[in-house]
Amino acid sequence: MSRKQLSRSGGDLAALGTDDTGCTILHLDMDAFFVSVELLERPELIGTAVIVGGRSGRGVVVSASYEAREYGVHAAMPMSRAVALCPHATVIPPSKGRYGAFSRQVFEVVSTVTEDYAQVSVDEGYLDVSSALRRLGRPARIAADLRAAIRERTGLAASIGAADSMVVAKLASARAKPDGLLVVPVAEVADFLRPMPVEALPGVGARTQSVLARYGIRQIAQLADADPAWLQRILGSAGITLHGYAHGRDGRTVHSSARDHTISGEHTFPHDVADPAVLELELLRLADTVASRLRGEGKAAAVVGLKYRLADFTTFSRSVTLAAPSDVAAELHEALLPALHRLREAHAQPVRLLGLRAADLVDISAAGRQSTLDEPEHSPREAELALDAVRQRFGSAAISQASLMRRKRDRGG
């Protein structure tokens, strides 16, 4: 369900009251983040329909202003469809580097509030402000001050939900948008959740929504009232989790959710690709990009995933647990090559999109690797750290993996 639809779903928010006792979990979500960053340099476009994304061939929407969303435009929509829905929109190509820079500023502000936070994407994160209450005041005051500090530092608007669990805080931030703050008092959680549609809950995708609809379950109230054992039979272990969410119960903590943070990259080919060599080359390029970002954050991945989308949009996902957490492109690439080969052999259709995801991230210091150039001579990690140093000084396009350059020459590039 879209943000717009969610913001209009459910009961009367004014009836919730303002008691923030125990509402120490905050969910921070930047408003139309990519568009908002672009509008800092294009203030004349504020209040108009704006789409950030690629215009060429198979470009997709990265983000849309709320004015464009009124026409049905949303992230991941093909740009051709978005422009057809909203032909008067201004389309802006994504700016490399700017979003990460602003994201770092946002979470630098967050870190001044509490150390107990987890950034789960470039524009979204959770905070547990329990330890900050004595220093900074009640949860609602902390949330309001955080929003003001982010705006002062970056010029960007943030919406925050405050509750006693992560799942309710996330739903509250969605209902607070745009540029708002919503507290869900502990005693009012049921009144807040029950009128909402089931697809508002994390983990309820199209398939789960369809299964529940077959049994007449369309609202969270109906899910909450269902027998949890029966839900487990029809949905597996997810049934128990979703039943808990429907009651506002969430076993996750902000600290543990840091493991949910992933670093990923993907590429939509200008033309569908059937050549295995081209797919292998793109997988290596993605591994190089993701590994560089891992090292930039001081992280290593315990799990890597492959996203493989065919020309008809059928999408497959495969994941591999590494022998040891890694931030080395060669190791990420090698781990996923067998999965790439098996998918290519099983599906004759050419490939539209390839993606690589690094998950279950740990600090590099806990991964059994050193973060300095002190490994044996000519080790892959030493070479990649040297690449990082050159790129930092001369730009990301200054140097590439030798394998990437070699393969481009072999193809006549």
168: phi then psi, degrees, rounded to nearest 5: -70, -40
Query: Is 124 an active-site residue?
Result: yes
Beta-carbon contacts of 386 under 8 Å, excluding residues fewer than 6 positions away, are 373
Nearest Cα residue to 339 out of 377, 301, 304, 291:
304
d(CA 312, CA 143) in angstroms, rounded, equals: 44
Nearest Cα residue to 67 out of 31, 117, 121, 97:
31
The pair of three-digit structure tokens given for residue 273, joined into one six-digit string: 């690709």
d(CA 136, CA 129) in angstroms, rounded, equals: 9
Residue 313 burial by CB count (10 A; 0-12/13-18/19+): exposed, middle or buried? Answer: exposed
Which candidate in 67, 124, 188, 331 is catalytic? Answer: 124
Residue 343 burial by CB count (10 A; 0-12/13-18/19+): exposed, middle or buried? Answer: middle
Nearest Cα residue to 232 out of 217, 222, 242:
242
410 is in an annotated binding site: no
Q: Is 259 helix (H, G, I), strand (E, B) or coil?
A: helix
31 is in an annotated binding site: no
Amino acid at 400: S
The neighbouring-strand residues paired with 355 are 266, 307
Q: How many residues does the chain have?
A: 413
Q: How far is CA 325 from CA 43, 339, 363, in A?
A: 44, 19, 9
d(CA 18, CA 412) in angstroms, rounded, equals: 65
The pair of three-digit structure tokens given for residue 297, joined into one six-digit string: 């954050």
The pair of three-digit structure tokens given for residue 185, joined into one six-digit string: 């008092």
Cis peptide before 185 (omega within 30 of 0): no
Task: Check if the beta carbon of residue 109 is closer than 8 Å to that of residue 123.
Answer: no
d(CA 215, CA 146) in angstroms, rounded, equals: 43
Which are the catalytic amino acids?
124
Enumerate the known binding-site residues for Mg(2+).
Answer: 29, 123
